[in-house]
Chain A
């Protein structure tokens, strides 16, 4: 059965291939997003290992467009602490440009750093910070 999708998006954070944070809008499609994100992890790992061997001094944190499917575009970003951020946006949302995605990842990184510095957060746990949720919500509203 074809479902009718209004523009949607998702944000997932991974540490060593297990998720620290998953958020998608609208929430009914979470399962599909989970699947897509797990496959995109392989692409992220591929890009990271390619970076290590590259002769070009390409050591940026932003990985760019990982792969476009017909419905979605998947973007990746990896921090120095090996936390991988994956963002999935609807392909119909053509208004999003590369530098906007970059700035969103930067915001995510800054908020994640704040989560790390929170004394009530144990590194490796799932992120339950409301402040972080709020930041992601406002970002997704911008996108959708």
Chain B
């Protein structure tokens, strides 16, 4: 039973915090579940689990790419779509915007997040650096899926130099 007072306290900020926490915990469990069978699956098994995570992110991204831009006007060009990713998609999923977007204007974009929410509670520095890729696979898929729905074929990879900052590299595949 929610009292008036509680409503005011929780407000919209409280609701969003709950949403963010839910996604974080779910994501952590997903990664843990895939590695629970065999904590050291070797390079082949490791690749398989990473691609499973990426695949999940892809399907989620596809649906997100349909739902999120609903009221937005049509995108004029590729850069608009990337800006949409950095602002609206990131804000919807991680409650913040991407910190920087760079491009070589030839189909490669580097999206940098200096405090990626899925890494922020892990460490700040070099501890757990080898574990970081597992926690980025889903998000890479998410970006690829959203781009795919918006008509752009791409390859997305992530790299971490020092937690919690990470870079997502998007390479547009032109057939």
Q: Which residues of A contact B (CB under 8 A)?
A: 51-52, 59-61, 78-82, 109-110, 112-113, 116-117, 123
Contacts and interface: CB of A to CB of B under 8 A. Distances in A.
Interface in B55-112: 62-63, 65-67, 69-70, 72-76
Contacts of A116: 62-63, 66-67, 149
* B72, B74, B75: residue with the most chain A Cβ atoms closer than 10 Å: B74
A81 B76 contact: no
Interface residues of B, number: 15
Given A116-B67, A117-B66, A60 B150 contact: no
B69 A80 contact: yes
Contact of A112 (B66, B72, B76): B66
B150 A61 contact: no
B45 interface: no
A80 B150 contact: yes
Given A81-B149, A81-B151, A82-B151, A59 B76 contact: yes
Interface of B: 62-63, 65-67, 69-70, 72-76, 149-151
A79 B70 CA distance: 8
Contacts, number: 42
20 contacts: A52-B76, A59-B75, A60-B73, A60-B74, A61-B73, A78-B74, A80-B65, A80-B72, A80-B75, A110-B70, A112-B66, A113-B70, A116-B62, A116-B63, A116-B149, A117-B63, A117-B66, A117-B67, A123-B62, A123-B149
Given A79-B66, A116-B62, A116-B67, 5 more contacts: A59-B73, A81-B66, A113-B67, A113-B70, A116-B149
B70 A109 contact: yes
A81 B65 contact: yes
Chain B interface mostly helix, strand, loop or mixed? loop
B138 to A, nearest CB: 16
B74 A113 contact: no
Contacts of B73: 59-61
B160 to A, nearest CB: 30
Contacts of B76: 52, 59
Contacts of A51: 74
* A51, A78, A109, A116: residue with the most chain B Cβ atoms closer than 10 Å: A116
Given A113-B67, A116-B67, A123-B149, A80 B62 contact: no
A139 B70 CA distance: 20
Nearest to A57: B73
